[in-house]
Chains A and B, each alone.
Chain A
């Protein structure tokens, strides 16, 4: 049936894949000339989220790394998508930033189009469809959390486009450290303060135990009533107060005797070497 065949073609993915074979050829030809494509700045990162009795708590560290150098000590990884939907982004910083900004703009248009406040599931679907289209080349892992008319929800989306819906989630290089804290202490329907403390502890585990994460803990609490963005909620790596001094005051050790012996040295050879100073 002709109509059915048409239906198939628009559901086919074939159009999207051609560009990646071209990119692969370009990359291999770069290598032949011993040039290396520059490494993108990654956020390293520990991001986490959990659902508690009244909404969602999202958390993130604030370190952005450029290979082994910290490029930004206080970057913001919790991004706005909609009034009650926020996104934590991990992976390549630019990709995460672009993906979340595109989502924010799409959601605004969708809201105007449908005349309804957005659903967290809608944001997740658009995000995963976009990431799948880029076949993992857009290296951003995202945790989407928020409250909509159906309740509080938390989703994770991986760079290749797979998604998952769970009551608590962690992503990024520090995910393994953070998830262990959740596995130990998470309970469904926790109270707000307990939930904030748990997310803070999970991010702190990532900050201390993962090299790619560091600096401060940012939290974002989303409820039916609104959003509380707690930038710099905790600063576990702040320099502490020195409690003592290693220096001793002159005179601590008593001087019993003093002997001075001059050493007479003769100049044997003198030579001048010019330095290249430009």
Chain B
């Protein structure tokens, strides 16, 4: 089993993955599947957590090589908490995204990890940032990532509307993840969703059998 990883483009355990983040009226939803695979053939974990809390109101989703992503996020989390103490205020979402971007960009030749950062801060409210593989940082209203995202670009483009309600956005995110998990072999398991608003953070876990079913399932 261990020699299989050389066949895949990602070294070691891959997050496989479908991740997404979307802004709604008053907050942001960030979510992912829960499958980690090796060489595209073996599911090494059915319940891995890809949505990591890096601060009170800031969450990150990881994609790419699991080892690289875990190491980068751990480093970013520690740096962010130090930054927050220095600034004597909760960090801005863009600060969290920038920390990830610095690590990804400076080590772009060696790392294979991309991130979505979503959160709420008092300066700009709910925000979503994408840090891609090479270290590009951009802000978007709604974004998807990972290998499973290719199957849901059409769905997201058609169904996303700005200023949705919380329930509409949650349903949109659940549907999108379910569709991607249904078509991508390296995405699967449960859907982890986190809803971040000014008031707080809420985890929603949708087990595989409770995911919405579509035509032909």
Contact = CB atoms under 8 A, between A and B. Distances in A.
A200 B10 CA distance: 33
B79 A11 contact: yes
Contacts of A263: none
Nearest to B38: A158
A160 B70 CA distance: 11
Contacts of A17: 107, 109-110
Contacts of B110: 13, 17, 20, 135
Interface in A1-35: 4, 7-8, 11-14, 17, 20
Contacts of B12: 136, 158-162
Across the A-B interface, give the 8 residue pairs with the lowest CB-CB distance, nearest first. A160-B12, A160-B67, A162-B66, A161-B67, A162-B67, A17-B110, A162-B13, A11-B75
A128 B68 CA distance: 11
A129 B48 CA distance: 19
A91 B5 CA distance: 13
Contacts of B11: 136, 160
Interface residues of B, number: 31
B82 interface: yes
A4 B86 CA distance: 9
B1 interface: yes
A47 to B, nearest CB: 12
A166 B1 contact: no
Interface in A143-164: 158-164
A10 to B, nearest CB: 10
Interface stretch (B39-47, B165-173, B175-183, B188-196): B39-47
| Most B Cβ at <10 Å: residue of A14, A139, A160, A173 | A160
Contact of B103 (A11, A91, A132, A141): A11
Contact of B2 (A91, A135, A166): A91
Interface in B1-30: 1-2, 11-13
A172 interface: yes
Interface in B35-69: 36, 42, 44-45, 47-48, 65-69
A14 B103 CA distance: 9
B1 A158 contact: no
Given A7-B79, A12-B106, A166-B45, A176 B1 contact: yes
Contacts of A158: 12-13, 44, 66-67
B161 interface: no
| Most A Cβ at <10 Å: residue of B2, B42, B109 | B2
Contacts of A176: 1, 42
B158 to A, nearest CB: 35
Interface of B: 1-2, 11-13, 36, 42, 44-45, 47-48, 65-71, 75, 78-79, 82-83, 86, 102-103, 106-107, 109-111
A87 B199 CA distance: 43
| Most B Cβ at <10 Å: residue of A90, A139, A166, A172 | A166
A131 B13 CA distance: 13
Nearest to A11: B75
Nearest to A210: B1
A175 interface: yes
30 contacts: A4-B83, A7-B79, A11-B75, A11-B79, A11-B103, A13-B71, A13-B103, A13-B110, A13-B111, A17-B107, A17-B110, A20-B110, A91-B2, A128-B67, A128-B71, A129-B71, A158-B66, A160-B67, A161-B67, A161-B70, A162-B12, A162-B65, A162-B69, A164-B36, A166-B45, A172-B2, A173-B1, A175-B1, A176-B1, A176-B42
Interface string A66-93: 0000000000000000000000001100
A175 B107 CA distance: 33
Given A136-B12, A164-B48, A7 B109 contact: no
B65 A166 contact: no
A8 B1 contact: no
A12 B106 CA distance: 8
A172 B1 contact: yes
A132 B36 CA distance: 18
Contacts of A162: 12-13, 36, 65-67, 69-70
A162 B69 CA distance: 8
B104 to A, nearest CB: 11
Contacts of A13: 71, 103, 107, 110-111
A40 B182 CA distance: 40
Contacts of B47: 166
A11 B75 CA distance: 7
